[in-house]
Amino acid sequence: MTNHAKLNAWVQEAAAMCQPDKIVWIDGSDAQRDQLTAEAVASGELIKLNQKKHPGCYYHRTAKNDVARTEHLTYICMPRKEEVGPTNNWMTPEEGYRRAGEIFKGSMKGRTLYVIPFSLGPVGSVFSKYGVELTDSIYVVLNMLIMVRCGQAVLDRLGTDGEFTKCLHGKADLDDKRRLILHFPQDNAVWSVGSGYGGNVLLSKKCMALRLASCAARKEGWLAEHMLILGIEDPAGRIEYIAAAFPSACGKTNLAMLIPPESMTRKGYRIWTVGDDIAWMRIDTDGALWGLNPETGMFGVAPGTNTKSNPNAMATIRRNTVFTNVLLTENKTVWWEDGDGNPPAKGIDWKGDPWTPDMRDANGKPVLGAHPNARFTTPLSQCPSHTFRMEHHHGVPISAIIFGGRRARLAPLVYQSYSWQHGVFIGSTMASERTAAQYGKQGEVRRDPMAMLPFCGYNMAEYFMHWLQMGQQMTRPPKIFHVNWFRQDVDGQYLWPGYGENLRALEWILARCRGEAEGNATPIGYVPTPDSLDLTGLNLTEEVLQELLTVDREAWLKETQDIEEFYRTFNEKLPHALRDELASLKRRLTT
């Protein structure tokens, strides 16, 4: 398959450690994919779904103890703890290789080792990085074929000595006491062992495209971010692009493919989805920031996805999709909580047990048919709104960067930072309140800077510094904004309708970028004047609009104390510019 000596030697080295029965190279062809799919169905690793209802779709269950990313078993392996900072788990590379090596040793006996060459970004683009994942899981192979560009074209591009990220994955015995997700930035390598759950094992995604890529991005002067990218075509036919970061459970995938409200569709608006999870962004010769989604697929959360919350996602997953840990019905269709339609009379739940909708657990709570983190893996090209620039080597120009969170009271619907530096401050203090779906006290605020807390591969204080420096290098930097779709009234009712209506805030954002919309200067940034938002067709009273746009000084002053405490975790490494921004915010709030 290749004359790349280092790649061949590394495959042999991994095989010597893991001792698979055979090695199969993934060429990216349909024929090989079909053959592997048939093998997975024969072994029971995949279940073929009703092909009339779900053409090209398959079903998979992970082990019960292996249903989400295991952040406490995820490490950055560097010689010194200080290099990974206070927000990452740390191990030395020696310890990492030793501990994982013991688990990998002989773990593939009786199994096949698949070699998956892949590209993040279109093959040959200046943005692109190449990787090779070794895995003993057919499920991983079939998911990777959806999520990234795989196969011979990548090997051809690598030639005899091209640089690639070494990604080694093994299921071992799926024992969570023998599970480790290790990153070795110095060696451009990832070792993941003991898991079969997507976020831990599709190593192109969180491990390479975020954790390792964030390290490379700092060195090479670009940004690897946990952001969606969407294009907004306005009535004049102009398309402008926005990159946006939100913590989990804030509707990132929904926003990436929103359907404009009726009045805005009539006006002539249209959405183009570039990506729903990861953005790689570079400064181009025009002094502006250009971004690209390095992936080709979506690994989305199924529960909560329905025709109201995300019609485009529902259309996307109709074909050629792998469903993981959802409910399987008798006639081989799928269902999940908060999906479309009534629950089936019976089915097999995500654990593989018989299920009926009236089942209750020992505490009287409904037994879930689908795991709350059940997933679909689906090609982005099937999304009705997918960008026509998917293979564009140059990416798209980013006009605005949005940070967001779920705040019942504090943050207004939308506001604009005063500068790039102030925008970085806003991103670094991003926070969300816990919902009932998460462990911990409801309403408690969790800081998640740039939504990168679990994904920044180095000291986050240095990451903030990198963001500040990127701003200094651009002559036409994107403007930075913050949004909050989740503001509530005193009775806990949402004030803003959300979903497609969010485009109204995005319209204001883009108009601000062009200097065409009014904003009031407040202590926290520019907030829309009530007239500057197009709310046609929305029955929003003046009082509600007022509340959506208010800045409560008392509440914000309390927020600054919380930020101060959070900043303390970074010690003296925290950039002075961010301390200055905090001081300026306090001053604006008290004068």
Which residues are designated catalytic? 250
* 371 touches, from ligand OXD, Mn ion, none (C-beta below 5 to 8 Å by class): none
Query: Which lies closer to ligand OXD via its Cβ, residue 90 or residue 299?
Result: 299
Q: Which amino acid is at 46?
A: L
Closest distance of CB 209 from Mn ion, Å: 10
Kindly tell me which of 194 and 454 has the beta carbon lying closer to Mn ion: 454
CA–CA gap between residue 104 and residue 14 (Å, rounded): 9
Beta bridge partners of 59: 47, 323
Q: Which stretch binds Mn ion (CB under 5 A): 58-66, 253-261, 276-284, 581-589?
A: 276-284
From the CB of 561, what's the least distance to ligand OXD, in Å?
A: 29
Q: Where are the alpha helices (DSSP H) in 246-330?
A: 252-256, 262-267, 311-316
Min separation Cβ 374 and ligand OXD, Å: 12
Q: Pick between residue 151 and residue 247 the one whose CB is nearest to Mn ion.
A: 247
Q: Does 121 bind ligand OXD (CB under 6 A)?
A: no
581 binds ligand OXD (CB under 6 A): no
Alpha-helical runs (H) found in 212-334: 213-220, 252-256, 262-267, 311-316
Please tell me what DSSP assigns to residue 571: G
Q: Among residues 524, 284, 528, 289, which one has the least CA distance to residue 418?
A: 524
Position 297 contacts ligand OXD (CB under 6 A): no
Please, what is the minimum distance in Å from the beta carbon of residue 277 to Mn ion? 4
Assess 432 for contact with ligand OXD (CB under 6 A): no
State the minimum distance, in angstroms, from the CB of residue 1 to Mn ion. 32
- Residue entry with tokens 């001792």: 19
User: Toward Mn ion, which CB reaches closer, 134 or 452?
Assistant: 452
Residues 365-424 that bind ligand OXD (CB under 6 A): none
| Number of chain positions touching Mn ion (CB under 5 A) | 1
Closest CA to 579 of 410, 430, 461: 461
Candidate ranges 72-80, 98-106, 138-146, 272-280; the one touching Mn ion (CB under 5 A): 272-280
Nearest distance from residue 28's CB to ligand OXD, in Å?
24
The least CB distance from residue 417 to Mn ion, in Å, is 23
Contacted entry of ligand OXD, Mn ion, none for residue 199, CB cut-off 5 to 8 Å set by kind = ligand OXD
Considering beta carbons, is residue 199 or 395 the nearer one to Mn ion? 199
Q: Amino acid identity of 474?
A: M
* Contact region with Mn ion (CB under 5 A), list: 269-277, 285-293, 533-541, 563-571: 269-277
Question: Residue 277 interacts with ligand OXD (CB under 6 A)?
Answer: yes
CB 295 within 8 A of CB 148: yes
| CA–CA distances in Å: residue 368 to residues 39, 335, 372 | 30, 11, 8
Q: Which is nearer to Mn ion, 120 or 465 (CB)?
A: 120
| Per-residue contact string for residues 187-216; x = within reach of ligand OXD by CB under 6 A | ------------x-----------------
Q: Which structure tokens are listed for 417?
A: 């930072």
Q: Using the rule CB under 5 A, is 277 a contact of Mn ion?
A: yes
- DSSP type of residue 259: P
Whose Cβ is closer to ligand OXD: residue 272's or residue 299's? Answer: 299
Q: Considering CB distances under 5 to 8 angstroms, the limit depending on partner class, which of ligand OXD, Mn ion, none binds residue 296?
A: none
Measured from each CB, the residue nearest to Mn ion is 277
Helix (H) or strand (E) holding 399: strand 396-404
Using rule CB under 5 A, residue 276 touches Mn ion = no
Q: How far is the CB of 252 from Mn ion (least distance, A)?
A: 7
Closer by beta carbon to Mn ion, 133 or else 277: 277
- Strand boundaries in 158-292, DSSP class E: 165-170, 180-184, 189-193, 223-225, 228-233, 239-245, 270-275, 279-283, 289-292
Q: Pairing mode, if any, of strands 519-522 and 354-355?
A: unpaired
CA 215 to chain centre: 17
Minimum CB distance to ligand OXD, residue 407 (Å):
19
CB-CB contact of 526 with 448 (8 Å)? no
Collapsing DSSP to helix, strand or coil, 282 comes out as strand
**Helix (H) or strand (E) run with residue 423 in it:** helix 420-428
Residues 6+ apart with CB under 8 A from 373: 67, 68, 301, 303, 325
* CA dist list (Å): 357 to 61, 344, 365, 436: 20, 7, 11, 21
Q: Which of 198, 347 has the CB closer to Mn ion? A: 198
For residue 189, give both structure tokens. Answer: 């390598």
* Contact assessment for residue 166 and residue 190, using Cβ atoms and an 8 Å cutoff: yes
User: Could you say which of 248, 296, 310, 432 contacts ligand OXD (CB under 6 A)?
Assistant: 248
Q: Which class for 346: exposed (0-12), middle (13-18), buried (19 or more C-beta within 10 A)?
A: middle
Dihedral angle, C-alpha 83, 86, 90, 93, nearest 10 ° = -10
Q: Which residues bind Mn ion (CB under 5 A)?
A: 277
Q: Which residues bind ligand OXD (CB under 6 A)?
A: 69, 199, 248, 277, 299
